Amino acid sequence: MKKRNKNEKIISFFIYAGPLILVLLLLSFTPAIKGIQMSFLKASRTDMSMTFNGLKNYINVLQNPYFYKILLNTICYTSLVIIFGAIIGITIALLLNEKIYGRGFFRAVNIVPWVSPPAVISIIWVWFFGKYSPLNDILIRLDIIKEPIDFLGNLHTTFGPINSPMISIIIVGAWVIYPFIMIMTSAGLQSIPVELYDAALVDGATKRQQIFLITLPLLKNVFTIMFTLTFIWTFQYFNAYLLTKGGPRGSTELLSGHIYIRAFTKGDFGYASAAGIIMMFLMFLPCLYYIRMILKQIKNSG
């Protein structure tokens, strides 16, 4: 076999990875620079011209009391979606780890919510939380409520400190993300060698000891990547906007939806870009952590 020298290898690398490098430069790097640039500009939607605006966009965002309300909404949404999603996803992953009838079917079916078309699904969820829904029907039959409630449209119904539109979009968020948590947990569980449990059984370990001393410690790695990624996705999740358009009265407006509304319905591109950069800044540490974790895995596997 012909031994290739170093230079040849580098040239070949650039030939075959070239299109990818070009895509990254043109479609990722350039827009990112453009985005940073735009956060310092005032853009007009009519003729797409831009004028320098200094730090004014950032000041506008940071002095907007509404922005902090949205930040609070987003934090509330993100944490509750992750908690609910994790409870459901981890539960079903653990249950499907036992050998039961129809296991493959249940696994396959439970992936579907994660890849479902959000706009179509938003129509059915809006209907589900509306007056003519099976949810209201059941609640009335159980005598919990007297009249059907529009869960997405009113702020009078509350669950503790959280109003019903927010809870509704959180349920949909958890519904979208739980399959991913199930996939990751299942894969993590399957990567644990059975011999470990056998050995533990020989040593007389109880089921609970097996979970706390074998399963959970060995899942630590998978769980850190899973939760970091879930956080990154949920914090920037846009499709919740489709359920309520941020309403009623901004009670369900999240960061992504806020940026979208500011840019594309109000035409305030400078504000939207500055808010976007601030959002990036808030997500910087989790993203960095995620990238570091993946790189470590890549290096370990050679």
Partner 1 sequence: MKYFFKIFNKVTILIITLFGLFPFIWLIISSFKTQKELYQLPIVWLPRMLNFENYLKIKTVFPIVRLLLNTTIVGLSCAIIVCIISTSAAYAIVRFKNKGTIILIIALLFAQTVPEVILVVPYYFLLFRLHLSDSLIGLTIAYLIWFIPFGTLMMRSYIMSGYPKALEDSAQIDGANDFQIITKIVMPLCAPAIVAVGLFTFIGIWNEFMWASVLILDNDLKTIQSGVYRFFGQWSNTQQINVGFAAGTIIVLPIIFITFYIQKYMVAGLTSGAIKE
**From 107, 154, 196, 197, residue interacting with partner 1 (rule: CB under 8 A):** 107
**From 60, 91, 210, 215, residue interacting with partner 1 (rule: CB under 8 A):** 91
| Smaller CB separation from partner 1, 129 or 163 | 129
| Smaller CB separation from partner 1, 170 or 279 | 279
List the one residue out of 228, 233, 220 whose CA is nearest residue 176. 233
The answer to whether residue 154 forms part of the interface with partner 1 (CB under 8 A) is no
Give residue 14's region: left, alpha or beta (phi > 0; psi -120 to 50).
alpha
Q: Which one of the spans 54-62, 119-127, 196-204, 208-216 is the region binding partner 1 (CB under 8 A)?
A: 119-127
**Cβ proximity of 192 and 215 under 8 Å:** yes
The answer to whether residue 118 forms part of the interface with partner 1 (CB under 8 A) is yes
Q: How far is the CB of 174 from partner 1 (least distance, A)?
A: 9
Which backbone phi and psi does 79 adopt, to 5 degrees? -65, -40
The answer to whether residue 42 forms part of the interface with partner 1 (CB under 8 A) is no
The rounded distance, in Å, linking the Cα atoms of 72 and 283 is: 15
The answer to whether residue 207 forms part of the interface with partner 1 (CB under 8 A) is no
The answer to whether residue 90 forms part of the interface with partner 1 (CB under 8 A) is no
The rounded distance, in Å, linking the Cα atoms of 124 and 14 is: 48
**From 5, 51, 134, 220, residue interacting with partner 1 (rule: CB under 8 A):** 134
Distances from the Cα of 93 to the Cα of 113, 151, 187, angstroms:
15, 30, 9
Write out the binding residues for partner 1, residues 208-247 only, by CB under 8 A.
221-222, 225-226, 232, 236, 238-239, 242-245
**From 65, 117, 160, 204, residue interacting with partner 1 (rule: CB under 8 A):** 117
Q: How far is the CB of 72 from partner 1 (least distance, A)?
A: 18
Write out the binding residues for partner 1, residues 253-282 only, by CB under 8 A.
256, 259-260, 263-264, 269, 272-273, 276-277, 279-280
- The two three-digit tokens of residue 75, written as one number: 């934090």
- The two three-digit tokens of residue 119, written as one number: 């706009």
Q: How far is the CB of 289 from partner 1 (least distance, A)?
A: 10
Cα angle 146, 152, 158 (rounded to 5 degrees) comes to 60
Q: How far is the CB of 100 from partner 1 (least distance, A)?
A: 7
The answer to whether residue 131 forms part of the interface with partner 1 (CB under 8 A) is yes
Write out the binding residues for partner 1, residues 163-202 only, by CB under 8 A.
175, 178-180, 183-184, 186-188, 191
| Smaller CB separation from partner 1, 191 or 209 | 191
